[in-house]
Chains A and B, each alone.
Chain A
């Protein structure tokens, strides 16, 4: 191989690697991102079955019910609509009724959202930003 060919080979393999990286990234962005929904969104445009999504809203007053062992069910609401949620595990420290919450999981065929993660908040004033933005937009919540 001449020097020029060698250099081309090196540059070519480098480009090939970058192309691979770009392909992986695009594929992953298409497959592995989850959209954020509020309960009203879910009713107007239901998520595809088994699609992993994030659901945000307020934990409805009086809806938290503890079942067998570590099973918990509650309703996430946005002032207009509510979605029933089931979860098995330890709830974050700041999980309370009437507080903002973001959960991740999939919508079951029976209309019950099966959560695999309930996102913890880190301080008492923090409202999940997605939830706060939407509630403000709909005029349902004001910053103190």
Chain B
């Protein structure tokens, strides 16, 4: 019964989304306040209905209701409860439902907290959100309905892909979607501004926090996806330049650019047209990502089923929204008044440089991702573009950006003082340089690139801290005063510092793993030992074990240092999920400090068990850095001057603390 109610709620939500798409827009055209105001209750009710539908599907999964096709295809009664719940979005239909749930959630947030927006802007934004929701609800109901019943209910389900039976499924997709779909708000604001033909600093003040929220979640979502792939797939890689990964990286790059250009627009009302274009492009890349992942043009763990009608449908949505928004931009964009002028060496100049680099990098990723599809469509040749392509294009384009990051916050608006900034960054430069030289001589003399990379990562970290140190006067005034000044700095400055330092940590992690990791593949008999990077690993035995819905062979290793100290046991296993008869590798990972020892096992051969061992120095920094970046985003959001709240309240707050600088 609840399944039918959920289905019905989803149909109702579609009807409401259509109302939301049309009525407020019409109201804004006619200047009718009641029609414009209709958007808010409709958006909130629509969200409630989709949430109800989603809850109904979750319930069907929890109860293992195999009379529902979607549950039968992707669940199993013996699956642990957590995986029954997360399995709801571990398939095409359920994940699309999560997609629109989050879309409606963001729309409802605008409706609930947008009281201070100009009424026509609010009405237009909600209408665009309603239009996007309508398109995707149509898509779900016509091509990907999760509520279809089976005539005769099977006794047992076909189980979820074992790779997805992991805590990662509870974290990665929701975070990623909060990011991906969150950019729809920036998009709606951009399109609404184009419809209105009006764009002011208040607009940027609104768009920036939404972009920040989406960006922070997307950062976390990508990082968690990367860590999941790292420990689950058993190959020990953290990034494969797989098209599906690129699909999430592109909106991240464009979103990062948008975040920075929105700052320029808010503070200096420059780069208006560019910011609007970026807002459109960022969400367009999110849509493109959805298309690439969900349409089945790519095969990966993310594309659950291939059904040509789905691909065509999403493609139509893609063309409609991207084409429509860009056409509107072409017609209206030029009428938006350009803003303030600035000197190339200035905060604005630095942010323009940032935007140029990020969008170019995003463009190379786009080309590398779409090129094989294009070639196949034209010539039927099948080619693959992999890591070597991206290492040759993306990496060199990204390096100058990384070098320049510490300068940005140290340059003044309008006209900056480059020698002054250089002087302030002296300490960061020498500290990073000393670390690079030390790592060259101490760790690996054959590897100058690694030393430079480590220097680059530290340059970013120290550079970010320099900004705070300089602004609080550390080293210039007494420690008590400096501390007081530091605690008085606006939170957004801490946010910037965290985000930039987090980037540095990620760079450090990537460099040290890429350049310094040790790898060993060998066959081992029980009792045999091997050494890697100062640790010994003794293969104790291979024992069978039975889990709730799988059986496994567990290889037990005794871990110790080469000096003889024991570090306990490490287990790595090969599992067989009985329902699908599908094997997986469960890597044994031991975290020591920031580094990890990673063991995965292969087949049993006459010579022994095939064992692959990696020593991964500072590997955890890759994801820890991303979490620090994400934290920086949220710290910045807490800054009351940037509250998602409103311009009016902001003025009051400013008046209360005597008017802020900056």
Which A residues fall within an 8 A CB radius of B? 3, 6, 9-10, 14, 17-18, 21, 24-25, 27-29, 31-36, 54, 66, 68-70, 88-91, 93-94, 120, 122-124, 126, 128-130
A10 and B344 contact, CB distance less than 8 A: yes
B582 and A123 contact, CB distance less than 8 A: yes
B384 and A36 contact, CB distance less than 8 A: yes
Residues in B with CB closer than 8 Å to A28 are: 368, 388-389, 392-393
A130 to B299, CA, bound (A): 10
Nearest CB in chain B: distance from A40 CB, A: 14
Q: Which B residues from 549 to 584 make CB contacts under 8 A with A? A: 574, 580-584
Of all A-B residue pairs in the complex, the 8 with the closest CB atoms, nearest first, are A90-B602, A36-B382, A32-B388, A28-B392, A122-B301, A32-B389, A93-B583, A129-B299
The answer to the question of B523 belonging to the interface, with a C-beta cut-off of 8 Å to chain A, is yes
A14 to B372, CA, bound (A): 28
Say whether, besides A28-B393, A33-B371, A129-B299, A124 and B383 are in contact (CB < 8 Å): no
Residues in B with CB closer than 8 Å to A70 are: 521-523, 602, 605, 610
Residues in B with CB closer than 8 Å to A31 are: 388, 392
What are 25 A-to-B residue pairs whose CB atoms are below 8 Å?
A: A6-B344, A9-B344, A21-B363, A21-B364, A27-B392, A28-B392, A29-B367, A29-B389, A32-B385, A33-B389, A34-B383, A34-B384, A34-B386, A35-B382, A36-B381, A66-B606, A68-B607, A70-B522, A70-B523, A70-B605, A90-B234, A91-B602, A94-B583, A123-B163, A129-B299
Q: Mark B370-386, 1 if CB is under 8 A from A, else 0.
A: 01100000000111111
Q: Which B residues from 322 to 369 make CB contacts under 8 A with A? A: 341, 343-344, 349, 352, 356-357, 360, 363-364, 367-368
Q: Which B residues from 263 to 283 make CB contacts under 8 A with A? A: none
B356 and A14 contact, CB distance less than 8 A: yes
Residues in B with CB closer than 8 Å to A27 are: 392
Nearest CB in chain A: distance from B428 CB, A: 25
A33 to B383, CA, bound (A): 6
A24 to B519, CA, bound (A): 31
A21 and B386 contact, CB distance less than 8 A: no
The answer to the question of B2 belonging to the interface, with a C-beta cut-off of 8 Å to chain A, is no
A130 to B381, CA, bound (A): 10
The answer to the question of B603 belonging to the interface, with a C-beta cut-off of 8 Å to chain A, is yes
Query: Knowing that A18-B360, A90-B603, A94-B582 are A-B contacts, what are 7 other residue pairs whose CB atoms are under 8 Å apart, sorted by A's residue number?
Result: A10-B344, A21-B393, A33-B371, A70-B602, A90-B600, A122-B161, A123-B582
A28 to B584, CA, bound (A): 35
Residues in A with CB closer than 8 Å to B368 are: 25, 28-29
The residue of chain A having its C-beta at the shortest distance from the C-beta of B392 within the complex is A28
Nearest CB in chain A: distance from B357 CB, A: 8
The answer to the question of B420 belonging to the interface, with a C-beta cut-off of 8 Å to chain A, is no
The residue of chain A having its C-beta at the shortest distance from the C-beta of B608 within the complex is A69
Interface size on B (CB < 8 Å)? Answer: 53
Q: Which one of B163, B382, B607 has the greatest number of beta carbons of chain A within 10 Å? A: B382
Say which residue of A66, A90, A124 sits within 8 Å of B521 (CB atoms): A90
Residues in A with CB closer than 8 Å to B186 are: none
B299 and A126 contact, CB distance less than 8 A: yes
Say whether, besides A29-B385, A33-B383, A90-B521, A24 and B393 are in contact (CB < 8 Å): yes
B397 and A21 contact, CB distance less than 8 A: yes
The answer to the question of B396 belonging to the interface, with a C-beta cut-off of 8 Å to chain A, is yes
B356 and A24 contact, CB distance less than 8 A: no
The residue of chain B having its C-beta at the shortest distance from the C-beta of A120 within the complex is B233
A122 to B372, CA, bound (A): 21
Say whether, besides A29-B385, A33-B385, A70-B522, A93 and B612 are in contact (CB < 8 Å): no
B383 and A36 contact, CB distance less than 8 A: yes
Residues in B with CB closer than 8 Å to A25 are: 364, 367-368, 393
Residues in A with CB closer than 8 Å to B386 are: 32, 34
Residues in B with CB closer than 8 Å to A88 are: 521
Nearest CB in chain A: distance from B311 CB, A: 13
B300 and A90 contact, CB distance less than 8 A: no
Residues in A with CB closer than 8 Å to B521 are: 70, 88-90
The residue of chain A having its C-beta at the shortest distance from the C-beta of B400 within the complex is A17
Residues in B with CB closer than 8 Å to A68 are: 607
Residues in B with CB closer than 8 Å to A24 are: 364, 392-393, 396-397
Residues in B with CB closer than 8 Å to A94 are: 582-583
A33 to B389, CA, bound (A): 7
Residues in B with CB closer than 8 Å to A128 are: 299
